[in-house]
Amino acid sequence: MTFIPKTLWCFVAGTAIFLGTSTSMAAQRSAVSAQSVGLTELEMQILLDRADFSPGEIDGKSGKNSREAMVAFEAARGLAPGARSRKALLKALDAGAVKPIVPYTITAEDVAGPFVDKIPEGATEQSKLPGLYYTSVLQELGAKFHSAPALLKSLNPHMHFTAGEQIRVPNVLGAEQPAPTPARASYTAGKRVGAKAEAVKVVVSRKASDLKVYDREGQIIFYGPVTSGSEHDSLPIGKWAVTSVVRNPTYNYNPDLFWDADPANAKAKIAPGPNNPVGVVWIGINVPHYGIHGTPEPGEIGHSASHGCVRMTNWDATRVADLVKDGTSVVFEE
């Protein structure tokens, strides 16, 4: 039987509001860039991802998410911005200890599907699908390796992404172990290796567009970019708590809850899948209709607005879900 959370209403598809790509004040103050420490942008993004300071979707391009992840990493590790900390920063990132790009052989399971040719825009049409599956092997592999499909294509210009091909992929944790992927129904993207400390607090900053997870010692154990709120649906500032963690959620669409709802769409239930409007995981809090969740559009994270909920890439939302439980403190701040 499919579990359908009562609070799962936060529809975000088709309502993105571009906020620009200007850096925050903290990012502007940082003198460290990928080039200044002898790394390519792609190498820096991979190393940050491995350190649990997510740059969002890995694309090899310089941008706000990468810069602010680096600033957060430096602060968490007690490293002063600037060239003097270059050696210490590289050591903290494990630069040189791992290969940033590794080979991966596409498996029969990777290409087995199910896939769907195209995800329709409207909730009514989406509700007719048996699942909001990946649209291609390339999209699936992008999620598996936390990467933009365009990056994978650029790393493998002559590949067709079929079973048996050996491709080059970002070495996110888990890529070193080509073990069978989890059951197709779980849609686990790039599962991390190793046990993690249990979170005691999750803090989401509206202004910084980021989420931090803290352990009992007050250390950041995960950082990631988010999209949260808009001029019509602001983030509910305050102290809250996790009330549920739902994997592969069925999404309940209710047009009455949205100021910009399409009158052609009635209430609808949208099947689970990585292209579901709330992605592969929903973390509910004790505010009706609000939560932290994944997204079918990882490239938009950190750059656009939502209907008040906190959106992350599917793999980052999964990381947070692995750290929290019912009762975990959640703080939404300006």
Confidence band for 36, pLDDT divided at 50, 70 and 90: low
Confidence band for 133, pLDDT divided at 50, 70 and 90: very high
Look at residue 177 and tell me whether its pLDDT is greater than 50. no
pLDDT at 296: 95
Structural domains of the chain sorted by starting position, each given as residue range(s) with its CATH number in brackets: 25-92 (no CATH), 101-182 (no CATH), 201-333 (2.40.440.10)
pLDDT at 265: 58
206 vs 188: which has the higher pLDDT? 206
Confidence band for 255, pLDDT divided at 50, 70 and 90: low
Sequence-distant (≥ 6) Cβ neighbours of residue 128 within 8 angstroms = none
The pair of structure tokens assigned to 142 is 């992008």
Phi, psi of 106 (to 5 degrees): -65, 130
DSSP codes joined into one string, 117-155: S---SSHHHHTTSS----SSHHHHHHHHTTB-HHHHHHH
pLDDT in tens, 193-206: 444 677 899 999 99
pLDDT in tens, 235-253: 889 999 999 999 999 998 7
b/e sequence 34-50, b meaning 16+ C-beta within 10 Å: beebebebbbbbbbbbb
Report the distance separating Cα 94 and Cα 283, nearest Å: 31
pLDDT in tens, 257-281: 544 445 555 578 999 999 999 999 9
Is the previous residue joined to 255 through a cis bond, with omega within 30 degrees of 0?
A: no
Q: What is the mean pLDDT of residues 225-229?
A: 87
pLDDT at 198: 76
Query: With contact defined as beta carbons under 8 Å apart, do 292 and 260 qualify?
Result: no
What percent of the chain stands above pLDDT 90?
64
264 vs 173: which has the higher pLDDT? 173
The pair of structure tokens assigned to 28 is 């502007």
